[in-house]
Structure formats: structure tokens, C-alpha cells
Amino acid sequence: MHTQTTHCFSLNLGGTLLDLSTPCVMGILNVTPDSFYSGCRAQTEADITTRVHQIVQEGARIIDIGAYSSRPDATHISPEEEMRRLRNGLTIIYKEYPDAWVSVDTFRADVAQMCVEEFGVSLINDIAAGSMDNRMFDTIARLHVPYIMMHIQGTPQTMQQQPRYDHLFREIFLYFAERIQRLRDVGVNDIVLDPGFGFGKTLAHNYELMAHLEEFHLFDLPLLVGVSRKSMIYRQLNITPQESLNGTTVLHTIALTKGAHILRVHDVKEAVEAVGIVDRILHAPDFIP
């Protein structure tokens, strides 16, 4: 089993380096009415404030705010509505924590630009890796922010309608390789890869990805894993998202042993504990009989 990456990565977040030699936790804040896990939806000012405090106090290094639900069959909203929700949420975040590192979960270049230029957000997290807005890569290059790009087959509205691959890893690797080259060509250097668990993947695809997660280190880029309370857990165990915390922690532990650098999570405290325990094991002294 892969136990450690060979490269110590860092991300330039507004002039400050985030060291990823110890994996970090990204806490999810959904300012949407329809995300799949109700525990992290927050729409009122009080709810958003409470959730932001929880994310920070439980030890997340990054707050990931999203205003467009990307669950299967999610309702499509306009860019204007997405921006309205984000402005509201970002205003509250920076009022409470002016120095917070914030990632914005959006596939729209105009939304990304607004969030960086108006609020100074630290990262853009794009579930579509530029495929849903062909201006995204050039926009990221102009904004000079790290870019998290995820693999998806289809769109949030279509991705779980019988996803199919002839060669799962080959197709995902080609997807990333082509996009990494395009990003490099326009001058984007800080790139994070997200395999996209649950985004155009069957249950079998998701577990195949996790079983061979270490193969993504071929790209020599930081790796983000987002499996928190997803269907690959609750369908496997025949439970609900609300009952999926234990399964989430199991997968987080496996991902960390395979070299994940960032965990995107609903339950920050438990993920931070998993990082601490796995990191202690991975850095234990060598055994000399």
C-alpha cells in the first residue's frame, strides 16, 4: 500500500504558503436549499455564521463555500442567483474570520472572477474542470489563484444516468493530462486534482478509484478527495447520508494512507482526528528488530 507521497506540496494562497506535507481538511459550507446532505446546508445569516464557526473551530484549514448544488438531478440556477447566494455567504465568512482561506465551489468563470475580485477568495474549486465554461482556464490564469479541478462525466443533471467507461483510469488520466497541459500553457501553476467520486461514476467505479488512488501521484500534483457521506458509502451499506459518518471516516483513512493531501468534508472534527492519527502512523520511527 502506498503510504506517503514523494513530493511535499504547498499552495500559494494570497501570498501565504499552505504546506500540504501534513494533509489538510476543507470544511463544506453549502448556501443552497437542496444539497444532498442537509447537515451542511445553511441559508440564513444565523445558520451560515454557526456553520462557519463550527468549520473553523473544529480545525479545518479551508472553508469551501458552494451555492450551486451538484447532487444528481440538482436544480439549475442562474449565475445571478449563484452570485447572490455567494455574496451573502462570503460577507458573513469574512466578517467573522477576515483572514480565512476560502475556496469557492463553482464551474462558472464569471462567478469565480467576482469572488476573487470582490472578496479575495483563496481558491477556485471547479467540478467541471473547465468543461462547463470554456473561459474558466483563462480566468484562473488572470486571477492567479490555485485551481482545484475535478473529473466529471456529463453534468450534475446527467452524470448518474448510466455512466460508462471502457477503461476507467485511462480515460480519467487522459482527461486530466489534457487539461493540465492547457492550464500550464496559460500560466496556471497551482493545480489540485480531484478524481470526482460520485460524479459520473457507478458504485464499482468509485471503489476502483479508491482502491488505486495512489496512481494519481503520477501527475505530481496535490490530490483532493471528496467522499464525505456520498452514495458510495450509503448505498454500499444500505443506510442514509445521515448515518454515513463512520463509513466516511473509513474511506478518509484509506485515502490518507494512499497519499491524499486535502479532504473535503462535512464533518470536520472527525476528519481532523483521522488526519492526526494516520499522520502519526505514517511518521512513526522505522522498526529495527
Which residues participate in catalysis according to the annotation?
230, 264
State the angle between helix axes of 168-185 and 203-211 in degrees (0 to 180), rounded to the nearest 10.
70
DSSP the chain: -----SS--EEEETTEEEE-SS-EEEEEEE-SS--S-GGGB--SHHHHHHHHHHHHHTT-SEEEEESS--STTPPP--HHHHHHHHHHHHHHHHHH-TT--EEEE-S-HHHHHHHHHHH--SEEEETTTTTT-TTHHHHHHHHT--EEEE--SS-TTTTTSS---SSHHHHHHHHHHHHHHHHHHTT---EEEE--TTSS--HHHHHHHHHTGGGGGGG-S-BEE--TT-HHHHHHHT--GGG-HHHHHHHHHHHHHTT--EEEES-HHHHHHHHHHHHHHHTSPPP--
Which grid coordinates belong to 102? 476560502
